[in-house]
Amino acid sequence: MRVSAIQLNAGADTDGNIATADRLVRHAASLGAELVALPEKWTVLGKREHMEAGAQSLDGPAISWARAIARELGIDLLAGSMFERAPEREKGFNTSVHIGPDGELKSIYRKIHLFDVEVDGAVYAESSTEDPGDEIVVTELADGVKLGMSVCYDLRFPELYRILALRGAEVLAVPSAFTLPTTRDHWEVLVRARAIENQCFVIAPNQIGNHPGNLRSGGRSLIVDPWGLVLASAPDIETAIVAELDFSVLRDVRKRLPSLARRRPEAYAWPEAFAWDAR
């Protein structure tokens, strides 16, 4: 399977962000990508007032565009994540949407772990405008491959990815807007760790550059294999990176180094439902 991660420099102009996404998704498809993943907050990224003004429902123009282009190009499209306006709620959600080649919504994941942190003196309070989701989501691509869905800060919670792998995920998606300092020091280490420990491919599209409100993202979007090898890495520009996923590599890694199968959940006191299914 050929896949692509799209690296964007989104700002307050939603129409401009969608236009750039359109150009890069088409470029990725022209290179043969069957699965294309956009980054976190690809529709709008900036100050609180920008985010609130750019919030949309899942039947708004952003997802309508995503459905149309997935259908036109015949691709699985992971519409990164967007600030979802939730009817009759004070706050919204940070929502990732998987759209199939028929243009239909296949799965919806709402970010579980919200980014309430301080990094290099900058304070981030995602929970001030968004509520966390509470559902772990594994979706199925057109060719039957299972994709585990997550968003950005989720990357720091390895138990989420272990559950995704145990539920059959062979590919993990991490659309992100990692800050510049955490991209520099943590990003590649974390992405490769999630790939190695779960013996999965990881597709990690990141935002790049400056955004309104003195926000800065670090880029370096990655596609990584189950052995932790980097198959593709983005330069510091808006771009589409592409890599071929060879699932015989995944099967070989899991056979030769069967760490998932050798888990001992009874020793961890985990629920029986999390037991590894070798199928």
- Strand pairing partners for 241? 5
CB atoms within 10 A of CB 190: 18
Q: Which of 34, 40, 126, 130 is catalytic?
A: 40
Kindly report the number of other CB atoms within 10 A of residue 192's CB atom: 19
d(CA 145, CA 172): 11
Q: Which residue out of 34, 84, 152, 238 is catalytically annotated? A: 152
Catalytic residue among 34, 84, 111, 170: 111
Residue that is written with structure tokens 């940070």 in the block:
94
* Cα–Cα distance, 22 to 83 (Å, whole number): 19
CA distances to 60, 236, 237 from 217, in Å: 26, 10, 11
* SS3 label, residue 124: strand
CA–chain centroid gap for 41, Å, is 10
Pairwise CA distance, residues 152 & 14, whole Å: 20
Tell me, yes or no, if 40 is annotated catalytic: yes
Residue 59: DSSP 8-state = T
Q: Annotated catalytic sites, by residue?
A: 40, 111, 152
